[in-house]
Amino acid sequence: MIVIRPIRANDYAALYDIAVESGHGFTSLPVNDELLMRKISRSERSFQKTVTAPGDEGYLFVLEDTDTGLVMGTSALEAAVGLDDAFYHYHLGKVVHSSRSLNVYKTVDILTLCNDYTGASELCTLFLRENCRQKNNGKLLSKFRFLFLKEFSERFSDRIIAEMRGVSDENGNSPFWQWLQEHFFSVDFPTADYLTGIGQKVFIAELMPKYPIYVSLLSKEAQAVIGQVHGKTRPAISLLQSEGFSHRGYVDIFDAGPTVEANLEHIRSARDSEKRRVRIGDVGQGTAYMVCNTQLENFRATWLELSVPEDSDEVVLPAACAEGLLVQAGDWVRVTRI
């Protein structure tokens, strides 16, 4: 059975392998023993905390094949970004240069450094291992978070964001960063990306240009990738857009990948989800649904084909599925179409 669950200390080896496999540009999983162990410990503390408003909590989950014990991927939620460390973005805006006397009117794109997403909740650390990208595994690993957000909404902001990986080559070189490196930094993209991942962000404030950057002054290669995603990230951004996320001009300061956002109440899977009581029984053919329990520390989620009647507050789950979700007959679960 394929199950989403909170990460545990004994998942460290699998998490390290995933960090290595994720490669350049995956800032949230640096290949660093101490930091990976710290992420696990922080997640365990977050699940144990009593919370009435979002703070410095981070919830890290793994996708596990319970038949083999294989950890297939990771997914995470940050309750509120930028409360301890500054959370930087560029905002792509416009300025107008005009002169009536010369009959000149020109609109110019600019990038302005900002901290506009401070306090927002973030979808992050989504990675599914290459040989596990089949059936609905990828959709489950991304979308189950909307059920978790809905069920435990007091722990999160109403504004949900996701930073999408920008364009870089197989060696981790970013055309956007190459221009910044040439003019303002002496640090290559993989190094800058790694320093950010391990929390050393002071160099950003020290070296990043303080004034808006005219996009037309960037190299043609840098201009071309602003707001564009890495080839491997296209399925992820398409999935989020189908859920109601949109890009509102904010891009990453390193690779210029887009950040997308949505209000929790507008996210389709959260909005359309229902709470139903469990009834144990046989399930015939149906539609693919995500199902999660309503427990925090023992949170579990999975997907399966179900028939969900509109005239009932129950949902029938196979005994094996109920066992995997740690629920019994009469318990509440949250369901939504995958």
Residues 92-102 pLDDT 10s = 999 998 988 98
Q: What is the residue-averaged pLDDT of the chain?
A: 91
Strands (E), the chain: 2-6, 58-65, 70-78, 89-99, 104-114, 121-128, 159-163, 213-214, 246-251, 258-263, 274-280, 287-293, 301-306, 314-317, 332-337
pLDDT digits (tens, 9 = 90+) for 194-246: 666 666 666 676 777 878 999 999 999 999 999 999 988 898 999 999 999 99
CA-based torsion, 310, 136, 20, 325: positive or negative: positive
Spatial separation of the C-alpha atoms in residues 325 and 331, rounded to whole Å: 11
- Which residues, 6 or more positions from 32, have their beta carbon under 8 angstroms from its beta carbon? 197, 198
Give the residue carrying structure tokens 């857009």: 241
> Poorest-confidence range of 17-26, 52-61, 100-109, 238-247?
17-26
Kindly state the tokens that stand for 2.
């394929």
AA letter at 279: R
Residues 248-257 as b or e (16 or more Cβ within 10 Å = b): ebbbbbbbbb
In this prediction the pTM is 0.91
Give me the mean pLDDT over the 24-30 stretch: 70
Closest to 93 measured CA to CA, from 203, 212, 220 = 212
The verdict on whether 266 is a catalytic residue reads no
Non-local (6+) Cβ contacts of 224 within 8 A are: 175
Alpha helices in 69-188 (DSSP H): 137-151, 175-183
Choosing from 24, 91, 97, 230, which is the catalytic residue? 230
51, 111 contact by CB (below 8 A): no
- Averaged pLDDT for residues 144-158: 98
Domains and CATH numbers, the chain: 2-89+115-269 (3.40.630.30), 273-337 (2.40.40.20)
Residue 331, CB-side half-sphere exposure with 13 Å CA sphere: 17
